[in-house]
Amino acid sequence: MGCIYQTEENPHFQYVLGLADDALILGQRWGEWLSKGPTLELDIAASNLALDLIGQANLLLEHAAELEGKGHTADDLAYLRDAHDFRNHWLVEQPNDDWGVTTARMLVFSLYQYCRYEALVKSSDAHLADIVAKALKEVSYHRRFAAEWTIRLGQGTEESNQRIQRGFDMLWRFVPELFETVCWEQTLADDGIAVASGTLQDAWEAEVTLILTQANLSVPKGDAHQFGSRHDGHHTEHLGTLLCELQFLQRSYPTASGAVW
Amino acid sequence: MTDLAPHLESRQPAHMPGTAEEAAIWAVLAEVPDPEVPALSLLDLGVIRAVHVVSPPKEGRGGVAKIDVTPTYTGCPATGLINEMIKAAVTNAGYHDTSINMVISPAWTTDWITAEGREKLREYGIAPPVGSAPSGKAALFGVSPVVTCPRCSSENTEQVSEFGATACKAMYRCLACQEPFEYFKCI
Ligand SMILES: [Zn+2]
């Protein structure tokens, strides 16, 4: 099974698609908490987080579809691509597991997403800059939510401390992929369109270390060399099952004119 | 030419100069409620960014209008409904060809909620946004605003959750009168 989208083809499109897919897949993961949140307030928080992320994905996918220039809509890209054509990081497709893992993931990712969007506000792609400027307001709430919950669980009981530490320990191997700068991304960054992911790492590490320390948690040690090679269509097994649910209705009840949701 | 809605005093924002026809459309939109917080009109909410009359209705022919609208949050599920309500209201005012142009820049901010809108929110039981939206890099842990209870006006309140029944609100409770209430988040 080959990818439809070869990495060397239209890197500007692939880059925006990557931003969109991160938001879409993590939004879907948040949606899975609905009716199962640990408390009513957190259930509502989960739906808000899911909505924000899917809203961002929608704007980004619309933009990606324009850049692709093949007449696709945002819905086509969300509902009619198979796993190997998704460009999200492996981190966001991992299962929610428990609230500790979900919170750890949200801290790792929302700090990263904030750094990334903050840099992209200055993108020479004016439409992308407008989208991220709007999304940044939402993500500043997300990272605060994740940071507060990390501290609450870390400083809570022995059990809550262990559960969130387990989350960071489990997910840490997916961190290096966030800061991997592939050569075409560097070229886009040189052109002022993208931000080279590697340049975000120092600021991210400083923030995450600060929060983990305050939360009485340890920054996971050991070699973390997991690179996702998502650009070549490689994903973990979990993306396929996530897409089964995300794309079920559209694939079971296809419409002649493409995806309409 | 004010026969579109002659009974409505123009509610066109002072910073949006326009023709008499455009003023009449602003007045119509001032009567369209936000579907999620019906105490507010779409004008109070600040989501209508511009009104353009391409050609006014005349001699039985419908007019053509374009309305610039901005979403509050990117994923606000009311956006589609808001657009339909705008179209219906402006179409009823004689503009049979009304189109919506979604604009996302500059990004919507609670600073655009009118003073009148803030008072309506309070009367409705929702604490209006405190202060103005943060500019520049937002602090990770900002100083929490002092949110006044919309029922008893006590400042002795606490946040229950950052997220509420709609994307734009947080949940609070008043420690003086014990009532829970919603706070319209400042973004
Ligand atoms: Zn009170």
Helices (H), A121-214: 126-154, 158-171, 175-178, 183-190, 201-214
What does the pLDDT average to over B58-69?
93
CB contact under 8 A, A134 and B108: yes
Suggest the residue from B47, B72, B73 to mutate for an interface test with chain A (most A CBs closer than 10 A): B73
Q: Which residues contact A15 (CB under 8 A, 6 or more apart)?
A: A185, A188, A193, A194
Residue A19 belongs to a domain: yes
- From the CA of B137, how many Å to the nearest CA of chain A? 8
Residues on chain B touching A211 (C-beta within 8 angstroms): 140
Pairing mode, if any, of strands B126-127 and B180-184?
parallel
Domain B6-102 has CATH 1.10.3470: no
Question: What pLDDT, on the 0 to 100 scale, is given for residue B136?
Answer: 58
Residue B76 binned pLDDT confidence (cut-offs 50, 70, 90): confident
Angle value at C-alpha B76, between B71 and B78, nearest 5 degrees: 90
Q: Are A240 and A86 in contact (CB under 8 A)?
A: no
Residue B9 binned pLDDT confidence (cut-offs 50, 70, 90): low
Name residues of chain A where pLDDT drops below 70.
Answer: 1-8, 222-228, 256-261
Question: What pLDDT, on the 0 to 100 scale, is given for residue B2?
Answer: 42
Instruction: Please name the residue of chain B whose CA is at the shortest distance from the CA of residue A208.
Output: B140
Q: What is the arrangement of strands in the sheet containing B64-69, beginning at the earlier edge strand?
A: B48-55, B64-69, B97-102
Residues on chain B touching A145 (C-beta within 8 angstroms): 162-163
Question: What pLDDT, on the 0 to 100 scale, is given for residue B3?
Answer: 46
Question: What pLDDT, on the 0 to 100 scale, is given for residue A225?
Answer: 67
Residue A226 belongs to a domain: no
Number of domains in chain A: 1
| Range(s) within chain B of domains with CATH label 3.30.300 | 6-102
Instruction: Please name the residue of chain A whose CA is at the shortest distance from the CA of residue B106.
Output: A130
Name the nearest CA neighbour of B129 among B113, B107, B149, B141: B113
Residues on chain A touching B108 (C-beta within 8 angstroms): 134
Suggest the residue from B68, B74, B111, B172 to mutate for an interface test with chain A (most A CBs closer than 10 A): B74
* Residues with C-beta atoms within 5 A of ion ligand 1: B 149, 151-152, 154, 174, 176-177
- From the CA of B122, how many Å to the nearest CA of chain A? 23
Name the nearest CA neighbour of B100 among B77, B75, B73, B71: B71
Q: How many CB atoms lie within 10 A of CB A257?
A: 8
CATH at A242:
1.20.1260.10
Percentage with pLDDT > 70 across chain B: 88
Query: Is pLDDT at B1 greater than 50 in this prediction?
Result: no
Residue A117 belongs to a domain: yes
Q: Are A163 and A99 in contact (CB under 8 A)?
A: yes
Question: What pLDDT, on the 0 to 100 scale, is given for residue B164?
Answer: 87
A154: containing domain: 11-219+235-252
Residue A261 belongs to a domain: no
For residue A100, the CA-to-ligand 1 centroid distance in Å is 34
Question: What pLDDT, on the 0 to 100 scale, is given for residue B5?
Answer: 43
Residue B143 binned pLDDT confidence (cut-offs 50, 70, 90): low
- From the CA of B168, how many Å to the nearest CA of chain A? 9
ipTM: 0.84
Q: Are B184 and B127 in contact (CB under 8 A)?
A: yes
pLDDT in tens, B26-50: 999 999 999 989 999 999 999 999 9
Q: Which residues contact B12 (CB under 8 A, 6 or more apart)?
A: B18, B22, B23, B26, B27, B51
- How far is the C-alpha of A164 from the C-alpha of A152, rounded, in Å? 10
Q: How many CB atoms lie within 10 A of CB A149?
A: 24
Query: Is pLDDT at B24 greater than 60 in this prediction?
Result: yes
CB contact under 8 A, A52 and B141: no
Q: How many CB atoms lie within 10 A of CB A32?
A: 15
Residues on chain A touching B69 (C-beta within 8 angstroms): none
3-class DSSP string for B135-179? CCCCCCCCCCCCCCCCCCCCCCEEEEECCCCCCCEEEEEECCCCC
Question: What pLDDT, on the 0 to 100 scale, is given for residue B167?
Answer: 84
- How far is the C-alpha of A54 from the C-alpha of A31, rounded, in Å? 10
- From the CA of B174, how many Å to the nearest CA of chain A? 17
For residue B67, the CA-to-ligand 1 centroid distance in Å is 40
What average pLDDT does chain B have? 88
3-state secondary structure of A98: coil
B150-to-B41, B146, B186 alpha-carbon distances in Å: 19, 12, 16
- How far is the C-alpha of A259 from the C-alpha of A92, rounded, in Å? 24
Percentage with pLDDT > 90 across chain B: 70
Measure CB to CB from residue B105 to each of A130, A138, A147 and give the nearest one. Answer: A130
Residue B81 binned pLDDT confidence (cut-offs 50, 70, 90): very high
Q: Name which residue leads in pLDDT, B60 or B123.
A: B123
For residue B170, the CA-to-ligand 1 centroid distance in Å is 16
Residue A5 belongs to a domain: no
